[in-house]
Amino acid sequence: MSTLIEKFLTLKDNYRNFDTRACLKRMQRFRRAVEKVALQGRPIALEILGSISFGIVEPGSDADCVLLHYCDLHGDGGECPDDCPNFVFEKNALAEALAAQPGAQPFNIEFLDCVNLTSIEKHLASEPFVQDPILYRMLYYCTVGRPVNRPFFIRYCKIMENNRDFMKGFIEWSSQALEAYLKTSTHRLSFEKYNQRIISTGLALPKELQAELKRYLEE
Ligand SMILES: [Zn+2]
């Protein structure tokens, strides 16, 4: 029997076939904005969370993002704090680039997390690499989200996905994260910081889909 996260991915694949026009437009806006930030010397990538993963978005609705970048200031295996100068610069540059697009309806961007690929690289360089929560988190975003500039980070996902032991732990962890969300979709959980943020705000799934996922859960 497949795990919850695997069922979720099957659903996601099915829903992706029904991309709405608003969704495709928004993804294009993000791609252009990310290119513009790179021209300012800061190459980045994004994972967009929420119903956009299912090809569904309301024009003007908020976008929940996770930003992926390289940061040497916090590259010792740790994480970038909210006030990391690189993260702050990139957030602002991205928001400006989006706002500068002519004729497009504005929307708010919420940055739920920042993944430092310099750290990820360090974690993955040790053999065998440690099952660090930072790796789980990154792969979780990349699994449930919708990427902008995927080539920027995909090699790290591949390294994780090709490690059978790691994936065993990951699938269990991510299924729990998803299950917790489905059971408490309107309540905050005393989960770890990032899970809490993803679960409470990031995975705003359409009602029908929530119902469908709940049915999976109850099977
Ligand atoms: Zn940093």
Instruction: Please list the pLDDT of the chain residue by residue as tens digits (219 residues).
Output: 578 788 778 777 766 666 777 888 999 999 999 999 999 999 999 999 877 776 667 778 888 899 999 999 998 867 899 999 999 999 999 999 999 998 878 899 989 889 999 999 999 998 778 778 889 999 999 998 899 999 999 999 999 999 999 999 999 888 887 777 666 543 333 223 334 444 444 455 556 655 665 565 555
Beta-strand relationship, 109-116 and 146-148: unpaired
Distance (angstroms) between ligand 1 centre and the Cα of 79 equals 7
How many Å lie between the centroid of ligand 1 and the Cα of residue 71?
5
Cα torsion angle, 53, 57, 60, 62, sign: negative
The rounded Å distance from CA 91 to ligand 1 centre is: 12
Spacing, Cα 80 to ligand 1 middle (Å)? 4
C-alpha 30 to ligand 1 mean position (Å): 22
> How far apart are the CA of 130 and the centre of ligand 1, in A?
22
178 within 8 A of 3, measured Cβ to Cβ: no
Cα 77 to ligand 1 centre (Å):
11
Query: pTM for this structure?
Result: 0.81
Give the three-class secondary structure for 111. strand
Q: Give dist(CA 128, CA 60) in Å, integer.
A: 45
Q: What is the spatial order of strands in the sheet that 63-69 belongs to?
A: 109-116, 63-69, 45-49, 146-148
What does the DSSP 8-state code read for residue 64? Answer: E
Q: What's the CA gap between 26 and 46, in Å, rounded?
A: 13
* 215, 42 Cβ separation under 8 angstroms: no
| φ/ψ bin of 55: left (φ > 0), alpha (ψ from -120 to 50), beta (otherwise) | left
CA of 98 to the centre of ligand 1 (A): 22
Residue 199 is given by DSSP the state I
